[in-house]
Amino acid sequence: MLEQLLIFTRGGLILWTCKELGNALKGSPIDTLIRSCLLEERSGAASYNYDAPGASYTLKWTFHNELDLVFVAVYQRILHLLYVDELLAMVRSEFSEIYDPKRTVYNNFDETFRQLRREAEARAEELKKSKQMVKPINNNKKQGQVQKAGSDKGSKKSGGSSVADGEDGDNGKGRKLENGHSNGNHVENEGTRITGVVNGKANTSSNISAFDVSKLLKRTKTGKKTDTVVNKGSKVDPKKKVTKKNRVWDDAPPQTKLDFTDPADGDGNENVEVVAANQGESMMDVEEIISSDNESEEDDDVQNDSKPEAKKKGWFSSMFQSIAGKANLEKEDLEPALKALKDRLMTKNVAEEIAEKLCESVAASLEGKKLASFTRVSSTVQSAMEEALVRILTPRRSIDILRDVHAAKEQRKPYVVVFVGVNGVGKSTNLAKVAYWLLQHNVSVMMAACDTFRSGAVEQLRTHARRLQIPIFEKGYEKDPAIVAKEAIQEATRNGSDVVLVDTAGRMQDNEPLMRALSKLIYLNNPDLVLFVGEALVGNDAVDQLSKFNQKLADLSTSPTPRLIDGILLTKFDTIDDKVGAALSMVYISGAPVMFVGCGQSYTDLKKLNVKSIVKTLLK
């Protein structure tokens, strides 16, 4: 049964709701749809699932872009109503005829909706009956094909295995069609599919034999190699100490020293120079200047004028359309421009899945709109994509950490930040950059060495702490990081430290034991900010990393309201030139804002994300 049907404007004004349905929805599915889907440029999706205590809803929607109207239907997810899409299309068509921008009440639409609903339900019932009548015929056809395949002479074993594989394939496809829309013709190519399985098995066996031969050859090669290594090693005199020699260039004098480590005193402690005060102002406090929009528009016009037109036919009709304006934009009109835009985003290192979803969302927002005079479809699509990218990358909540630190200080508790991420992305280095930036704003900082897994992690953090002259809490290796973090926070509370920066071990998103330990650390200490540290070099893997980190933190947490990733620190941003798509992929998949950008190797090389600059680079 349909729970609710709602019509509202893009500005948020509700024009009509079905009073007959009038069921009190549990939770706030409409608000969540607007906040998490429509405003996040995910409107190209087919549906949205909302889970509330005691209820699970599915929401479907459609737009009337010319009138800026949104039509949303809500129903129980377990019901799988087949007529919702058709009903929404019929409601949109009928309501657009009576819509008046000056009018806000549409009580006379109730009777029209009742009639449309009855028609949609009747058609769905007829379709269901016709599918039930067709189903036994398809089953007989399938049995006949299986028998035919099984009666083939000389291939009894392969025929039996192929039929078994074919049944597995049917089960998988049946499960897929159960969630989607069944069209009743899924057994049409059964014979070809069974043949394909047999061929697949033959190819697999040949590949296995080829692999064994290559493996044998590789083993013989490596055997020879080890022999030569042993022979060479026997010539080395064990008593003679091997030292690294300086390289001598032709015109340069020989160097006398290759050891650049800090000198040690008599007790063996390193004399580390204090460089915190000499590094200068952090880039976080420097405003980045980018070129104006007018210059970029002029450059685009020059580039467009320099390119020859690929299609000479229809020049007069396209010119006439640009002057007079097209009646309504259709999907076919948008596809060439969207395909070019998708390819451009992917060349900028945006994940393919994200680029495709963005283009679908832009198409959904433009379809049916009237093209203005003297405007090309490509420029309309580009401006819509630019608005969408700015909306995605702009934080929807405050990311002013200094304000949050002072608020926590008034409550006499430290502000706790946990740095998480995969291996080798630069968590410890960028933690030190954040500490340096906080020190410049007269905030007392303590580091917590909770990476008790990687060798040298505690020493690395200890070196940063010495250079910055800030305290560090450490317990060595092979300790429970959650307990170490808890004790560090207690120590910071006693000492009056304003901020605790917690360093954690790098872990892959599929490593369940380490992800369970991270979930325990976050649950036990309840940090104020969970920062995901990710590389700007990643492409499609950014989607996998962030989605699985969030999923594991949610699944492995013992809390009913698990903590997920709150913000993103993007590292190695100075190495990617114009391939800035990782920032978009990470923000889109997680909904968390980019709070810091690491762009160098010194303590000052930390800055804010410039949204306009990123969008300009993505669409350039």
pLDDT at 596: 93
One domain, residues 354 and 420 = no
Could you tell me what percentage of the chain is helix, strand and coil, using 3-state DSSP and rounding each to the nearest 5?
50, 10, 35
One domain, residues 365 and 406 = no
Separation of alpha carbons 458 and 450, rounded Å: 8
Q: What is the mean predicted confidence (pLDDT) over 2-29?
A: 82
Does the pLDDT value for residue 435 go beyond 50?
yes
pLDDT at 250: 65
pLDDT at 246: 65
DSSP assignment letter at 260: -
Residue 496 falls in which region: left (phi positive, over 0), alpha (psi -120 to 50) or beta: left
Write out pLDDT tens, residues 349-362. Answer: 888 888 999 998 88
Separation of alpha carbons 577 and 611, rounded Å: 16
Among the residue ranges 5-14, 59-68, 313-322, 444-453, the one predicted with the least confidence is: 313-322
Q: What is the mean predicted confidence (pLDDT) over 292-308?
A: 43
One domain, residues 341 and 363 = yes
One domain, residues 471 and 386 = no
Q: What is the mean predicted confidence (pLDDT) over 564-573?
A: 92
pLDDT at 498: 94
One domain, residues 406 and 388 = no
pLDDT at 378: 86
Does the pLDDT value for residue 281 go beyond 60?
yes
In a domain, 158, yes or no: no
Write out pLDDT tens, residues 376-392. Answer: 888 888 899 999 999 89
Q: What is the CATH number of the domain that holds 438?
A: 3.40.50.300
**Confidence band, pLDDT 50/70/90 cuts, at residue 289:** low
**Confidence band, pLDDT 50/70/90 cuts, at residue 253:** low
One domain, residues 79 and 58 = yes
In a domain, 352, yes or no: yes
- The neighbouring-strand residues paired with 417 are 501, 529
One domain, residues 555 and 441 = yes
In a domain, 149, yes or no: no
Q: Which residue has the tokens 């002479």?
A: 153
In a domain, 63, yes or no: yes
pLDDT at 532: 94
Separation of alpha carbons 598 and 533, rounded Å: 10
Cα end-to-end span (Å), the chain = 48
pLDDT at 63: 87
Does the pLDDT value for residue 148 go beyond 70?
no
pLDDT at 278: 52
One domain, residues 372 and 420 = no
Task: Indicate the SS3 state at residue 186.
Answer: coil
One domain, residues 433 and 561 = yes
Q: What is the CATH number of the domain that holds 22?
A: 3.30.450.60
In a domain, 472, yes or no: yes
Residue 337's domain spans which residues? 331-393
Q: Which residue has the tokens 């950490």?
A: 401
Does the pLDDT value for residue 54 go beyond 70?
yes
Q: Which of 393, 411, 438 is the last residue of a domain?
A: 393
In a domain, 304, yes or no: no
Query: Alpha helices, DSSP H only, in 348-400?
Result: 352-366, 377-393
pLDDT at 134: 62
Two structure tokens written together for 340: 């070019």
Q: Which of 576, 606, 605 is nearest to 594 (CA)?
A: 606
**Confidence band, pLDDT 50/70/90 cuts, at residue 419:** very high
* Contact call for residues 574 and 600 (beta carbons, < 8 A): yes
Q: What's the pTM value of the predicted model, to 2 decimals?
A: 0.64
* Contact call for residues 518 and 484 (beta carbons, < 8 A): no
* Tally of domains within the chain: 3
**Confidence band, pLDDT 50/70/90 cuts, at residue 252:** low
pLDDT at 566: 93
One domain, residues 458 and 599 = yes
Q: Which of 128, 144, 165 is the last residue of a domain?
A: 128
Q: How far from 454 is each of 474, 503, 619, CA to CA, in Å?
A: 14, 12, 40
pLDDT at 560: 82
One domain, residues 433 and 550 = yes
Separation of alpha carbons 416 and 499, rounded Å: 6
One domain, residues 539 and 597 = yes
In a domain, 494, yes or no: yes
- Find the farthest-apart pair of alpha carbons in the chain and give their distance in angstroms, rounded: 101
Q: What is the mean predicted confidence (pLDDT) over 453-474?
A: 93
Among the residue ranges 44-53, 105-114, 319-328, 480-489, the one predicted with the least confidence is: 319-328
Q: Provide the CA 304 distance to its chain's centre, in angstroms.
A: 32
Q: What is the side-by-side order of every strand in the sheet holding 14-17?
A: 14-17, 2-9, 69-76, 55-64, 48-52
Q: What percent of the chain has pLDDT over 90?
A: 26
* Contact call for residues 62 and 91 (beta carbons, < 8 A): no
Instruction: Give the range with max mean pLDDT: 106-120, 319-333, 466-480.
Output: 466-480
Does the pLDDT value for residue 51 go beyond 70?
yes
Q: Which of 190, 184, 83, 180 is nearest to 132 (CA)?
A: 184
In a domain, 469, yes or no: yes
Q: Which of 128, 148, 169 is the last residue of a domain?
A: 128
